[in-house]
Structure 1
Amino acid sequence: MWNNITGSIPPEIGYLSKLVQLSLSGNKLSGVLDPSLGNLSSLNRFQIDENNISGPIPSSFQFLSNLVHFHMNNNSLNGSIPPELGRLPMLNHFLFDNNQLSGDIPGELSNISTLLILQLDNNQLSGSIPSSFQDFSRTNLTKLSLRNCGLNGTIPDLSGLSTLVYLDLSNNQLTGPLPSNLSQTVRTIDLSINQLDGEIPAGLYELRQMELLRLQNNSLDGVVRAELLSHDSFTNEESVFIMDFRNNNFSDLIPGALLAVPNITLQLQGNPGCNASQNVSAYCNVQNDYNVSTPLPLMPVPAGCSDDTCDRTRNQELNYGLLEFGLCQCAYPINVGYRLKSPSFAIYQPYADALQQYLASRLFINQYQVNVSDFSWIEGPRLYVNLKVFPPNGSVEFNTSEVSRLYSQFATFNISANRTFGPHEILFIFLGFPYNVSIGATPASAGGLKAGAIAGIVIGVAAFTAVTAISILYIAGKRWGFFSAVGSRAGTARRHKRIKVDGVQDFTFKEMMKATNNFDSTLQVGQGGYGRVYRGTLPDGRIVAIKRAEEDSLQGGKEFLTELEILSRLHHRNLVSLIGFCDDEGEQMLIYEFMENGTLRDHLNATSKSPLGFARRIQIALGSAKGILYLHTEANPPLIHRDIKATNILLDQKLAPKVADFGLSKLAPAPELEGAAAGQVEMTLVKGTPGYIDPEYFLSHKLTDRSDVYSFGVVLLELLTGQHPISKGKNLVREAYMAYEAGMILSVVDPSMGPYPAQCLEPFVHLAFQCCMDETDSRPSMAEVVRELERIWSMLPGESSSSIDNSTASMDTKSVPPKASLPYNPYLSFDMDGGNLVSGTIPSIIPR
């Protein structure tokens, strides 16, 4: 990509039957696409965008059975879109905008059950939007963009598109009424520059997450009913809701309270009501028109801290991500030209923090290490950001292996896709001093998108010089599995035989639709890495929790099958029970028993209306530990959970705990009950939740059952303090230990849990710190953890030891680890001394 390659794409490439990626973007290629390229049945990514390729799209491309990313935008392709492309079984992104395609849009495209983005803007199409597009209700379509395509006719019924976020049908010749009853997921609607008429339907006023509603330059009439407006709370100061209704035939406005909210802008210039109604005229000269290119506000710089303190002549810069924590640090960043090819939003500012958080999580670094210094919207619209990746706090530069790892993740597209941010591309990677890997390009020169050739040379040179022999092996291992999660969901649905599991019911997609009222957003009770969780009602009246997988989740088809097979064999009173599953119409869902009292985390938050007492917290810890112990020692086969956290411990009607979410579980190599070191599982990619991940597992990629013990230790500290594992840059494990070392452990105890006996608190604290030991072998086994919690339970005044299992032998309580052995987790935010956790009033201890 991004070189000066000329000529045509050789048809002989079609013989490369195992080719996984063909990325030729940003060159000077011409000629036509040979039908033989349709033989690339292993191809996952096919990118030839921004070239001069012409001619038709071969119908043989229907045989690209593993294709996920299909990017052919910004060429000179002509002819009609082959309807056979509707047979592509795994396609996520269909980007053919800015070509010379003609003819009707084939309705068969709605048969692509895995499709997330359909973008055909700026072509020479004709006819109407196919009525079959309402069949996208069977997919998870996020973005439908058909701008400036010469389309006519009316807008079909799109009310069934339950996951639609972005709809752009602007600059066509569409007639008839506006669409109504769109999904509450919609945030951007652009229907401007058409011939639409009639009044605005009530459903458009009631879209609670809207950010941009553009209806200008149509023939709409009637009254703008602002009193019908409803909207969710805005998440940050940059959040907006812009309604552009200019140049229509609106006669009047019924005011509404939401129009006074500063985040909301209404524009009515060019309507007859501007001269006839006082209500309308107030919005006919709006001065605060939102500029989508407005720079983001800079973080305030502490006194004595500025870029001038950095050695700019050697590429050293101030890490603005650390300013939020009052730290002034100069370091050497890696500069990346990063472009979102089809984001599901039209205004970037509200998503600035989310983008940095998303990239940090995908790169396995802290959020403060990722900084977007500037951004710009370019034709597409596509979003370009100048990305700076800084070393962690306390380090001035990355080490060689970390440079190689980060480089490989960017250069090989090994940053998994996201429903909001969509597909991306790298325009350049600049590794200046002290990395001394690439030369000849700077962020200033490469930041302009016209410097594609220079950027390509940078990537080409760096690809061969940045990576050492060891890191090449690492990259190769990563490469074999890259993007597997994205395509596996639909692939599984089509490839495996229908599953039959004893004792587990098989539901259809229609049954799940009925159980959740078409996945009504008001029935959503949670969302995790796997997907959204809904409260559903089965035909027999049972209330269940339905986990609906998403394409951009960490788990795909393989993980779905693994979790299903594992869960069907797990039976313990402290594990969430599997009731059934759905594997139908490209959908994958797991149906569990419904836990009325939500997650443990819900009851530890400061806003909880039902805080847990000390005895209840011990009971929850003990029950959870027994569930994990079952996984380690009694399950067949034994399992390592890998994602123990407070949100994966659910509470039933009686507040009894049950461990949930086994999507990241790995088979455990015969762990032993009495705490001997269990076998190790070598992992290519570390998975889990930041704040809970075992630091030794993170650094060595060696997973053991003691990795779950570490995560459970963090949960114990949450039970003790009520705090999150990571909060405002603070690491709970370190903060709690610092309080202990200072003799102020009582200052971190959660006051909302009320009185507690001192004789029980001390061993509970000791146990939590033991579980969080840095060295794996220094942690107790889950069997030891259970026995110690049983001992603490038996010490509670008024609690009978007969209420628990008879195994009550106490463990040999080790001393609290010295400060030097505290965990250093690269996943966690940087360390800060003292701070909020150490200060405050020491709560009184009232014996029970």
Structure 2
Amino acid sequence: MSRVQIMLFVAVVAVSCWFLVQPAIAQITDPSEVTALKAIRNKLLDPMNNLKTWSDGDPCSSNWKGVLCYNSTLEDGYLHVEELQLLKMNFSGNLAPEFGQLSYLKILDVMWNQINGSIPKDIGNITSLKLLLLNGNQLSGPLPAELGYLPNLDRIQIDQNYISGPIPKSFALLNKTRHFHMNNNSLSGQIPPELSRLPRLVHLLLDNNNLTGYLPPELSRTPNLLILQLDNNNFNGTSIPASYGSMAKLLKLSLRNCNLQGEVPDLSSIPQLGYLDLSQNQLTGAIPSNKLSNNITTIDLSSNSLTGPIPGNFSGLPNLQRLSLENNNLNGSVPNAVWKNMVFTGNRSLLLDFQNNDLTSLSSPLNPPANVSILLYGNPVCSSANQLNIEQYCQNQSVNPSPGGSGNSKTNCNPCPSDSGYEYNPLSPILCMCAIPLEVGYRLKSPGFSDFRPYSDSFQLYLSSGLELSLYQLFIDSFIWEEGPRLRMKLKLFPNNTSLFSDSEVLRIRGMFTGWLIPDSDIFGPYELLNFTLGFYSNVIPNRGSSGLRAGAVVGIVLASVAVAVALSTLITILIVRRRSKYHAMSKKRSISKIPIKVDGVKGFTFEEMALATNSFSSSSQVGQGGYGKVYRGILADGTVVAIKRALEGSLQGSREFFTEIELLSRLHHRNLVSLVGYCDEESEQMLVYEFMPNGTLRDHLSAKSKEALSFSMRLSIALGSARGILYLHTEADPPIFHRDIKASNILLDSRFVAKVADFGLSRLAPVPDIEGDLPGHVSTVVKGTPGYLDPEYFLTHKLTDKSDVYSLGVVFLELLTGRQPILHGKNIVREVTSAYQSGMIFSAIDSRMGSYPSECVEKFASLALRCCQDETDARPSMPEVVRELEIIWRMSPETYTSPLESVVGELKNETPTSSSLVDSQPYLSSDVAGSNLISNVMPSIAPR
């Protein structure tokens, strides 16, 4: 090619590039929206520096993170913000009123952060808004009535916050809204009957609030309602309207624990009803004898006062998975044909729970298939169990939640490169195809079944088709039931028989989730996105900020397309070479990022030792599971029983954080702290090994389901032990530590019911003297902890002090006294007990299961607990004062109140406490080493969040 030709080629490319970028140069974001975005940023606390790009350049043309724009057809010529995607970025702070200035916003997504304060009423000014996604934060205050004037709103999600006050009647004006997700808040008052006017409403989720009044009969007139979920509210002993039996499109009706009375309505006319839960009310009368829909999977009428025989209409329901009628007054014969006309294949099963009724006979011999479980304990018929050959059905059994599970990803292939994120797609038609998947945290919020296993294949088909993927691209890595009940899943999405997704495909899939573009399903119900882990593809998302420029660049692209055709092939070659170089550099960087761990005094175990201790991590060894991973009971080679917490992949953020946790725990040695035995860090596995605590958590023993209640002396002993453990952390640990997550499920009990404080995953080092020797009074930090136990002042100021632990411990003391949970049905234990104490009715709040107790000691204990729970930090006692007062109450408690359960700790009762007993800093290692519910991350949250 001659010099002239080269110069001509360069000129053509330059002109073409000028055309390509010209629209971007000409257009900027509306200045008022730029001002609003900066005000929004200033109101948010951003410890991860996610909004660092919000400082320079133009929002729409400079790739501000989470800002998605488009070209307006208006004559103003500006770009406008269409979406704010700020999912799970660890923000705290407040929502700015300036959100209301984003006049063209369609999606506002700040889910799964820690934002507090109230919802600005100014959001009601965004008439273009379609998705308002605020769930999973710490928002409080009332719902602004202005939100009812959003004419295009499709979905409002405020669940899992602390929103209080009534549901505004203006919400009845949201004529385009289909999804009302307001569960797990503190909403109060009457459900507005006016909501029945909403023509497009399909999901009304108001469970776990403090709603009162009556159930509006008018809701039966809501034309398209599919799910009505109102569990755990208080409807003041009213009845279920008979009109609910005429809800023609209803798929799920869940009214558990709502203080409802009257009879069970006839719901046989609802043609597609698939899930019915009316349990834990005060319903009376007979069960209606009309047959329910063939779609029904779950019927739960347990814990009512129902009478009469079990009707025959439960027979022949082809999709039934669970029939729960326990804890009623049902009489007559045990039905033996419920499973009639049912086909049991694979994992399909049926649970019939008839426990604790008045069933006296069998209509004919029981001979159920192997997949049918029948529970009859607590019925008179079991007195003749031997003669009737029904011993196996008369055992006292707790009904466990439906099982979770994981996909089978085992192959005979050689390992993929583990340091670069590659793994096999176990479903790929190409054998041993290594690829880098996308990981998605996904949760079904109101599924229409009790057991997911028979529906796993249809779910895979539903979601893959909804995402426009091939069936083998979606792999269900694991699933687990959570309180609600809700079904949480970890999904892996694989490229279509290539090793990598293209950038455009990553953006498309993410947009399907974040825009709620996946069609709804009758059986699987509404879903929520918990996380969308980009991993290797992290560099893709910033490009989305300029996606709106494509429309403005069309003319330039058309004019330049011919001229740059040759140049593109060269550029593509260069980009491929650079991308491969970048990938290899990233792989190399990842391969050397792992740091070796060695901590004096803490044993390092091999993966082989951990597998041997747990029988290869068998399900029979598993004793707990949660967001962190699974907990197994293990037996080491020397016979020591331990609890092994095995992290899910990605739950510990790298070896440095893992090392920090081990190093912190290795310094703590006290009788009332759970001891770290060792760790394992190899073969992409990270595990912590603790002493085993055979008596589980304090929360277990305060539950109404506990077989034997704790006496007052035992509760006082646990309170004193817990307080001594916290005092050690504050004053004797080197350096001192603020626990930050004290709660009943983090206080474990060994074989002798000695209390031990556990879980230091949220702990922070106490402040140290500055250069002038002054000691700061607090640690400034993002608010962490468990709702119901959080120090109000810490929550408001983000200033963590030793008195923050005092507040949380005070809440535990109130639990010990009352047996109640910190937050239940919107009622706060501190407010409830304070009211009883001030009115002279404190003894009416005491746990009746505690038996006899010394009233003077109980009153002093209650007084101490309430002083620990004062809103003002300075009004609370210090930890030394708490321990000292507990020891005084302990000495006051007479021997006559010692229960048989307490005899195993009699030595503590005979001990004469001295000032030295305030802190027992001697190491204490039980031969029974960490427990069935070891770590709070593995336990369900106490508050129904």
TM-score with structure 1 length normalisation? 0.50
Which of structures 1 and 2 has the larger relative contact order (alpha carbons within 8 angstroms, sep 6+)? 2
Over alpha carbons, which structure has the higher Rg? Answer: 2
TM-score with structure 2 length normalisation? 0.45
